[in-house]
A and B are shown apart, each in its own frame.
Chain A
Amino acid sequence: MGQIQLHQVSKSFGATEVIPPLDLTIEDGEFVVFVGPSGCGKSTLLRLIAGLEDVSAGQVLIDGLDATKVAPAKRRLAMVFQSYALYPHMSVRKNIAFPLRMAKLDKADQEERIAKAAAVLNLTDYLDRRPGQLSGGQRQRVAIGRAIVREPAAFLFDEPLSNLDAALRVGMRLEISELHKRLKTTMIYVTHDQVEAMTMADKIVVLNSGMIEQVGSPLELYLRPRNTFVAGFIGSPMMNLIDGPEAEKLGAATIGVRPEHIDISKTEGIWTGTVGVSEHLGSDTFFHVLTDAAPEPLTVRAAGEMALDYGARVHLTPRPAQVHRFDANGLRIE
């Protein structure tokens, strides 16, 4: 079991309120990702759940029981830190055994759990090494190993992949998703990387300056962003947001179109513009096109390879069904 509920939870450091009162329910077995720009309070929120920070007001409920005043160790939560926080003077085995030793489990039980965790995480050959002798990905796995041996009610991940290189990050992302499918334990994952959020989450919580902008499945956020912040944050490259006359034509203060929902043509289209920088990825080509619709260049995706010269005249047409409309407060108009 691992249902976590936040009830009007808020946090202030002195006079600055970093998290205004918020409510959130995380169901048992869910993979929830907190995503948002740097300094949006997502790590603080995770630390409030972990108990490493005290809430200023409100309640944290774990499996329906009030855990607001419960010590971090007693909340049955395991955390994986951004720096991994491995104990450098202990071998991998001792690192993984540490929570078990603290819980005073008997030796045989400890050995069994360590062996099981090591097998799951491919660490069996490294058990007698020190963390300093391991690569980044292996350290990451040790940190996860230390979390899973405790058989916690929920796992908390604080930007666990941000110290890894790009290739390793993709691999670890899959491993963590795989682990979640296998363990079926609640996981809360904090990241600033919306790609991680989209690929891993059952449910994404988009945070901005301590406030929840939207909660929903990755596709919901992609298809129906509740406001301009979520619209701009989710999706890569960013959604094109256009203010002014073009938006007013559609009865909105701002309209948003994703790069993949704009058709590019050399002959005809609604907006005309000149091609700026183009980015060729092989699978896709991204063009930055300066149009009369907006002061900023629009990003446009063309599937596959497409060659357009710098400065070429092109015509753009947004697909009408996939144009998002927002009102003057930035809220979505259905």
Chain B
Amino acid sequence: MIAAFEARHSTLLIAPTGAGKTLAGFLPSLIALHGEGPERKKAGRDVHTLYISPLKALAVDVARNVITPAEEMNLNLKIETRTGDTPPARRQRQLRTPPDILLTTPEQVALLLSHPSAATFFADLQTIILDELHALVTSKRGDLLALNLARLRTIVPDVVSFGLSATVARPTELQAYLMGQSDPEQKINLARRHFVSESTTPDIKILESSERLPWSGHSSRYAFPEIYRAITDHNLTLVFVNTRSQAEMVFQGLWEANDANLPIALHHGSLAVGQRRKVEAAMVAGKLRGVVCTSTLDLGIDWGDVDLVINVGAPKGASRLAQRIGRANHRFDEPSRALLVPSNRFEVMECRAALDAATAGDQDTQIVRPGGLDVLAQHIIGTACSGPFDTEDLFREVRSALPYSELTRDRFDRIIAFAATGGYALKAYDRFARLRKNEEGLMQLTHSRFAQQYRLNVGTIIEAPMLKVRLGKPKKSGSTAGLRGGRMLGEIEEWFIEQLTPGDTFVFAGRILRYEGMRDTNIFVSRAKAENPSIPSYQGGKFPLSTHLANRVRHMLSDASSWKNLPEQVEEWLQIQQKKSIVPSPQEILIETFPRSAKHYFICYPFEGRLAHQTLGVLLTRRLDRLGARPMGFVANDYAIAIWGLRDMSEMVTTGSIDLDALFEPDMLGDDLDAWLSNSMMMKRTFRNCAVIAGLIERRFPRAEKSGRQVTFSSDLIYDVLREHEPDHILLEAAWADAATGLLDLGRLNDFLTRINGEIRHIALERVSPLAVPVLLEIGRERVPGIDPDDLLRDASNDLIKDAMGRQSST
């Protein structure tokens, strides 16, 4: 690294968690600053090194870790952090007298760059250190950061970037991200690369339970006693789960099993900050034996002496597992110990696949994605805030950022027009323009209030509206009068609370709570005596199965000789499947049809993950409806889709009235998808996020009177109007691109449909097959998203009629 710095080479340092890479990134700067000595102060130098991390907490943590060696080396340096929590006075002071080393987040970099004095502030910048780069670049934050790096390279052309990353599948993508891409026709510019390889192989096991393995579900309840035993046998165990609700459930289960009264804590992103900090401090102090946590503890903060990591549920991706395992034994010379706890039979196979991938050192994190146009719109306003810009120059600069290296001039111009006046075909708003060409031909902000607006709305993280959970019981049930804010327990998603009625009970912050009422952005709860919450939590798993793991699972399934590596129960399950139906080869897709209690079922097993399956489920159901199969509904998990209907689909396939090749024809991603999506809630939500990031709708602030719901409502209206009058508007294009790569997983679905062309294997069965049981058990357990709103209203209305007419009469 030191040599790279001296030779002014940008470098990517790849090292497993715990190898001390963060400090390695700082070392060249410390040495260089040491070399400058007291001269530096006299010359009145500005920021020398900029450190950017995805987490505020990480920036603070790292600052502590760098200050110590700097003091030991007697460097007399000013090392400061700047995050959303930094008081305004200090931020002002930092602008006047910048520190030598500044540790911050991508959003703060964007804010600094939007300042008119940005060019002087960064004029002496030598080094940019990007920590946890693999976690940053896969999101819109990564797009924003890439644009800001490009800006910094314009201000200081010879700045050196150091990327610090965990092991990734394709490091060249990160190497290219660190560099300016001058010309897409040319070869891609790559930073150098430096590997620190894993010196020990992790010691991973899958829980061999003596209990009966569940067919489906995500609770892993069967394994709680065994998880507890593992905690008892270790000093400090991290129990990773995939969602907040799982964390709550596992924590409760462990608490019930906690005969020895071990100190076990809960840590997830929805808990109050104070509570989280307490848990973290207790961990570092060695006061805890176990912590149940979500991905909030995934990233590289050093939290004490963990000697076992338990992953509850399937890890869904090989890279995520590697990250989590890295939390155990944060010392480089000892193997990490991990225990995987599958929560159902399919997950056993998935855990096996993840374990094989970990042993082989395989990774699956994908990086390259075209940069978001909404982020670009935000960046353009930010650039204008720092001063007038030349459109040509900015286009060149934007294209030098890897995510935007293929941006066309046409798109760029449309985004400029969007930032200036909304970019509508009907040029109604020219007189209200935010950006306008000045006499020198440069684009300029028309009013300083737009700069304030920008500063309030900067960033790409659109939080789902959250409500504060407070203890408090009303005098009269159901009324929020007289409720005063009690202790805050944390925050919870608005959508979850929406389905509650006062009196309902649910699990939060490790206890069962009774919902009492809501006022403003607070919900009030009291401790409940109930043993089981009345409102189940619907979020099963958050991350879809990665393509890489899915592939491994498909191969494992088709290869009967590999089943002996699986628990006996699972092996037996697959053997019966082979007897009663078939086990598909890895290239094939299996479709089973069978009758069951007056309904006819159509099951397919694409193994493409829940997101792609939901999209496919909607589209298949629409097509089956057109073919007259009278489908009633569908359910999807990570492995399979089950559709049920009123007509005998076995017969329809046999007689040819359902042509399977035509049913799975990739053209379903055209008009069918369009027709469904345009009106879907999901598309409207995606549009809302784009509209907020792009600056069309203002972000929601705490205490501002505009509630999240009002924003949701009006953005839906805007979406409808825009689609009706200007369906090819750039913001709709941006939302569509987002949905396609994100929630719909269209790329994956398209690959799948192309892959299975001519490889469809249909089996008509008399009854349900063993492989179909898990997905059928999901029916009724999951939230109903795709339903037509009018059906809900009709339903509510019919209830009213029934009430009025008496229950006996039919309607």
Are chains A and B native binding partners rather than an unrelated pairing? Answer: no
